[in-house]
Structure 1
């Protein structure tokens, strides 16, 4: 299989050329990850020595890198929007598109380099070349698929954020194998030889079977099919890839089998490591200190309590968890006594200092729905009951990676609905850094995270569908605000602003699985859709903060969310107030309560969920509760205007919210000319969206 000619490498060299390009890309991403870690350590060290602006680059080297990163971020996060009638179609971001186009260009160049495409006698040679290039892509697809992802460890990107590249690399493989098969057919067609080859050439029909299986894998991996029944998708996906690997092995020559054995080895490496992590996390014998302290009994280490919450949400709590984690990470949780043979990824909604591992799970279909039913049936029963709310569970993880947010001067959090399970632990981690800074705690170890925080200003925004959802995190948010007030007395440079928006706009609070997942309705006001039930909320004229001149009456303590008096109107121009985009600086004290529900009269929190009743939510007085859609661009701009260094914007929620924030960050970066001579500082964007 040499088939080399003057100036053209041999067939066996083309996989090496492909991996030279891929390896270079991974190497560049690894260097960027190392630089970001070095920058984090440098900023935390500068903050520990009393530097006033540790998040602002000062030397020419860091200024150049900040400018380069600003240009790359602005370009890579940009996404074009095409209006189609009353809808907006969102194209993929430039960054994602560039990666895939670059991969396709490399593949096409390697397939056709050195050939005269008009020479019909070269068709078979082109077909062989394409087959070899296709084989080179198998290891990359498996490298991107594993939970314990080698590329992820090197580049600092979590496995779930690499999964879209895994899918697109499989599509590129399908393109290459289709060209491979097509050129053979084009070479045989003039002689009516295709049927003969399929009947008599066993090597040929084995390849066709592998190609057909690959088509099925790519088709079944599309979003609407993948999300229809994810557990079934995973099972058939593993079986399909096993069939693909088997037929590819018997279709290819022996010198190409290395590109089969490498993916097989990567698959079993990931499975073995996952198995070891599961055993360590769930077998109590690996945690003798906790066993001796009486925190564990029996063989299994993890027992969880299931509690029902409003809006078909389940709170799952594991006390004395056997593993540690960093805020923002997730684990795969399974409870075989409720949902046999299933494991679901859930973001950890608590921090290690709590001594518990907490999850908030929205009941959709399948396993999450069974969790909620179990919580409803066992709520209030004693622990000794046969149907106790406490069950043995298994966890795998933790997984997930993002840049430490303590290194940024200003941080803006935006969360939609259960997206707060991601942002609230990150908010609390920054508060923990403020505590460490006030208490002058220092950590000099190279292998441990530095103590303290660079952050001066935090803006936290949570978008919910009704005020009944506030009870999910009312206690945590109130505790954060109370702790902040105490810290503020010792450190007047820090600032915290918290706001909760109540809106019936599903694009900011709910995720829908459909063929049109990238299509959303523009903000054109409320239309006559099915009206959700919701309570009325309290309004404030501005977002409270704790500046030097701001005072809060200590007698107010913790304030109850109450209903406002019924008003004659709702939103402007006959629209629903909770679907109208609101700028907090322009809100009015006399705004009317939301009247889009079936019954606009004031109702108590317990009426929001007919199946679950509980105490009314309590929130701290510095937390604003506002009816309407937030204006992400206004919120982010006000934070950036007071930043003294690089800022971070973190958003987690439905794709509609995430897409809006991406667009706003790109627009603000261009508008402010970040790191282009205006003095405006960089903006780091981290997004998490609902979906499979």
Structure 2
């Protein structure tokens, strides 16, 4: 073989050394990639920077509502679910794929990674420029003389085992900082979450973090395999042994294997079964294995260790930043942690107010001049009997419950195996609607924290500590949430009001129900901060199960803004009713729950919001999915009757078939248009067969692993709430019928007055005959009188939308008055005492005026104000599963501007909502300037 051909060999020859370490060192150095071969790592980061810049510009310019954005969103937001036959029989949860947009981004990321690993030559001639691509062939180059690198190839090598292994290793190294950036939670180190960038937090980047980590492990595995093949193929001429036998004597080779084994453990601890059922193992594995992996990877190959040190630096810096913020937020830097007087107002209807719960100052609301001609919201006489001032109505909902001392949480057991925590931060802490916190309860687990969404809002202008109360709803599952439930239950059964070993501040007022626990928080986090609710005319909130926490904070924020508060003082953006740029006119809240008694979770907040903003400004619909109707079927062929030979046949229609909701006794109270057929998460909206196949009610309300354990008394509570809701709807329907009859009588009286002024069939004007009365005028008047009848069930529910324009189906917007807390004709006064007695029947104790707790089997506890709120909210609770597509279509058609949807629930529920949104997005409308053609989606979908 000539020297020229030998120089072109992609496997350079190692000089003969007698010392084993010297020989393997020379071998590995000769097979080391050149500096110019790292161009692919730089190309990778150029691509990342370009994509990051594009998304930043789209966020800052708010350009997603264009026609291109409409076409993209119509396809990208949809997600698919799959359930095999075996899983279907076992009633397991469906496998939910990520949305189409995420799948496309993941596919692009994987394709770009593969191209950077294999496209083009692997080993770049050291003498070429860094980005010189003119010479891609094999050529002989001169090289500098040194102890080992003088035998390093000085020519471009297209493909070889060791070059492919070296190249995949370089790409894996360059990927590490990006994977870490996807995992960071706190700005400023989480650069994607900065307000002047994309403002996307870990909840939206977690899937990218997981998949980028899997890509890193995959190409690292290729790196190991390629290099193993090379080491097993090459032999040492002096001994005839494979190079693999000597590689273990080279310390950097050992560091590489250590890094690979640590990364393998990191991946194993991150698989879904361990992350789901052994979260502590996953968490501690991450905290310890991530820095160790980065350190050993950097020691393995120092020429590219820069990527490891950068990833490790930002990871440690973010941890230090969060640790400092954690100490500051939880009052360990000298912030006030003393106890404050307890707030024991449980409902807006509770007249006795604690001395600390003062009315807000008038300056906290916008001045009348700021409403630009719109009168400020004022309470009606009906509400003034229960509220001494409208500002009391506009206080945060957290003021309506017991307030624990700062740094502690009030823990209550609710129906549906749910725990409610009310936490007062030691100092003021602001968060946006829909954001979440990482919480740690030392009495349950000393070191591990878990994410939960705040079901309340912050209020910078609240006169008491209620403005910084964080309310969390925790549904019991396996693991930490179950431990929290068991710990609280154990303390209550022992008659304790706080865990042993925890010392409460002096002067702490203890609650009459529940326990007080020490709690620490970290946050806030969450991409919901980027939402611009005030830019949309209609906000539709779809939530299911414990996902209601996400919707409650958004609902309360919007209601306060509609009532005149400025959003900048409530954790959101500047704007409120009557202020420039505030476009919101209507809010629709739809909640799917498993049982009637689950409204206990948030009945006080819902009642308060409905009192502030009555319909049509706010409509609340709650659907109970644990409902098995008996469906009557239509006969196969309707009977046809012929009146005569000359008349066409007229079908003899039977009575309307019972819908799923009509099988219950209060079926006439249900809006039947939303109960036609069953609803699934696959196929077209109108595909009935698909909807029947995907009819799994648990999938719509229960997250995977939700605990169905019930406390003693929950079954009775469910039946009582159902009965009270039925009675209140019947009462409201009768009241509405009376109003309807009165309207018809007034119209009849008006027509009678017209007929009185007629003379000889002529109507006179200024003494001149102007118009003859129609021969059918008497029959018309008589017909109006004869047509007096009560409202049908559908008419009753349709009256809720009487604010619509009959010919255009567009929300009437000019002139608009702000939605004020007035008495709606469809929400008449109701005997609260009778309602309380109905809810309290068959219980251990009837509540007193002081609000003593009612105990179901010494476990489930309710007080009088909470029962009042549940009774009012029960009117809006109906059985069955709603037609999400119909609801959304109605809101889009009735809106006078753009629509935004907030969604949180199980994956199958999310898929249903996304499909409905995709069907309603209409690029043709956007092209014509109709903003209803684009629907923005703000969702909370993430898991650790």
The TM-score, its normalising length taken from structure 1, stands at 0.76
| Structure-2 residue corresponding to 1:175 | 218
- 2:249 matched to 1:143? no
CA drift of 1:620 comes to 3.1
| Structure-1 residue corresponding to 2:913 | 661
The whole-number CA distance in structure 1 between the counterparts of 2:537 and 2:472 is: 29
1:683 to 906, 912, 935: 935
| Structure-2 residue corresponding to 1:395 | 521
- Quickly say closer, same or farther: Cα 1:423–1:448, change in 2 above 3 A: closer
The whole-number CA distance in structure 2 between the counterparts of 1:423 and 1:557 is: 30
| Structure-1 residue corresponding to 2:536 | 408
Per-residue CA shift, 1:381-421, capped at 9, x if unaligned? 68699687222221111111321322211111111121111
| Structure-1 residue corresponding to 2:475 | 362
| Structure-2 residue corresponding to 1:496 | 618
| Structure-2 residue corresponding to 1:476 | 605
3-state SS, counterpart of residue 283 of structure 1: coil
The whole-number CA distance in structure 1 between the counterparts of 2:259 and 2:407 is: 43
1:627 to 869, 879, 883: 879
The whole-number CA distance in structure 2 between the counterparts of 1:610 and 1:465 is: 23
Partners of 2:498 and 2:516 within 8 A in 1 = no
| Structure-2 residue corresponding to 1:71 | 71
Partners of 2:80 and 2:911 within 8 A in 1 = no
Per-residue CA shift, 1:563-594, capped at 9, x if unaligned? 99xxxxxxxxxxxxxxxxxxxxxxxxxxxxxx
2:700 to 501, 508, 514: 508
CA drift of 1:344 comes to 1.9
The whole-number CA distance in structure 2 between the counterparts of 1:121 and 1:25 is: 30
CA drift of 1:481 comes to 0.7
The whole-number CA distance in structure 2 between the counterparts of 1:166 and 1:121 is: 31
2:575 to 422, 447, 450: 450
The whole-number CA distance in structure 1 between the counterparts of 2:246 and 2:108 is: 35
CA drift of 1:143 comes to 0.9
1:134 to 172, 178, 183: 172
Matches within 5 A, 1:596-635: 611-615=859-863, 616=867, 618-620=870-872, 623-635=875-887
- The range that moved more, 330-339 or 162-171, is 330-339
3-state SS, counterpart of residue 411 of structure 2: strand
CA drift of 1:247 comes to 2.3
CA drift of 1:560 comes to 4.5
CA drift of 1:84 comes to 4.2
Partners of 1:496 and 1:546 within 8 A in 2 = no
Partners of 1:495 and 1:546 within 8 A in 2 = no
- Quickly say closer, same or farther: Cα 1:78–1:442, change in 2 above 3 A: closer
| Structure-1 residue corresponding to 2:47 | 21
2:270 to 177, 197, 221: 221
The whole-number CA distance in structure 1 between the counterparts of 2:339 and 2:594 is: 45
CA drift of 1:358 comes to 1.4
| Structure-2 residue corresponding to 1:419 | 547
| Structure-2 residue corresponding to 1:42 | none
Partners of 1:416 and 1:652 within 8 A in 2 = yes
CA drift of 1:295 comes to 9.4
2:309 to 261, 276, 279: 261
- Quickly say closer, same or farther: Cα 1:319–1:182, change in 2 above 3 A: closer
- Quickly say closer, same or farther: Cα 1:2–1:301, change in 2 above 3 A: farther
Partners of 1:338 and 1:370 within 8 A in 2 = yes
3-state SS, counterpart of residue 352 of structure 1: coil
3-state SS, counterpart of residue 629 of structure 1: coil
- Quickly say closer, same or farther: Cα 1:72–1:560, change in 2 above 3 A: farther
| Structure-1 residue corresponding to 2:413 | 308
| Structure-2 residue corresponding to 1:648 | 900
Partners of 1:112 and 1:126 within 8 A in 2 = yes
Matches within 5 A, 1:178-189: 178-189=221-232
CA drift of 1:265 comes to 0.7
CA drift of 1:319 comes to 3.6
Matches within 5 A, 1:231-630: 231-252=280-301, 254-283=302-331, 287=335, 301-319=406-424, 322=427, 323-353=429-459, 354-355=466-467, 356-379=469-492, 389-402=515-528, 403-436=531-564, 449-452=574-577, 453-485=582-614, 495-504=617-626, 505-512=697-704, 535=719, 536=722, 538=725, 541=793, 542=797, 545=800, 547=802, 551-552=825-826, 554-556=828-830, 560=835, 611-615=859-863, 616=867, 618-620=870-872, 623-630=875-882
Partners of 2:593 and 2:625 within 8 A in 1 = yes
Per-residue CA shift, 1:397-454, capped at 9, x if unaligned? 11113213222111111111211111011011111111227xxx6989xx96334442
Partners of 2:603 and 2:873 within 8 A in 1 = no
CA drift of 1:228 comes to 1.2
Per-residue CA shift, 1:289-329, capped at 9, x if unaligned? x8698899xxx941221121122211211246521222211
Partners of 1:495 and 1:547 within 8 A in 2 = no
Partners of 1:477 and 1:619 within 8 A in 2 = no
The whole-number CA distance in structure 2 between the counterparts of 1:442 and 1:340 is: 36
3-state SS, counterpart of residue 155 of structure 1: coil
3-state SS, counterpart of residue 574 of structure 2: coil
- Quickly say closer, same or farther: Cα 1:342–1:364, change in 2 above 3 A: same
CA drift of 1:632 comes to 1.4
- Quickly say closer, same or farther: Cα 1:649–1:265, change in 2 above 3 A: same
The whole-number CA distance in structure 1 between the counterparts of 2:418 and 2:857 is: 11
3-state SS, counterpart of residue 413 of structure 1: strand
- Quickly say closer, same or farther: Cα 1:294–1:498, change in 2 above 3 A: closer
Matches within 5 A, 1:96-175: 96-115=102-121, 122-148=160-186, 149-153=190-194, 154-175=197-218
The whole-number CA distance in structure 1 between the counterparts of 2:448 and 2:870 is: 36
Partners of 2:413 and 2:488 within 8 A in 1 = yes
CA drift of 1:648 comes to 1.0
3-state SS, counterpart of residue 620 of structure 1: helix
- Quickly say closer, same or farther: Cα 1:143–1:620, change in 2 above 3 A: same
The TM-score, its normalising length taken from structure 2, stands at 0.57
CA drift of 1:123 comes to 2.9
The whole-number CA distance in structure 1 between the counterparts of 2:122 and 2:307 is: 28
CA drift of 1:473 comes to 1.0
CA drift of 1:629 comes to 1.6
The whole-number CA distance in structure 1 between the counterparts of 2:859 and 2:453 is: 25
Q: How many residues matched?
A: 590
3-state SS, counterpart of residue 350 of structure 1: coil
- Quickly say closer, same or farther: Cα 1:197–1:675, change in 2 above 3 A: farther
- Quickly say closer, same or farther: Cα 1:302–1:633, change in 2 above 3 A: same
Per-residue CA shift, 1:450-487, capped at 9, x if unaligned? 344421121101111111111111111111111113xx
- Gaps of at least 5 residues in structure 1 are 37-61, 489-493, 515-530, 565-604
Instruction: Give the number of the structure whose alpha-carbon radius of gyration is greater.
Output: 2
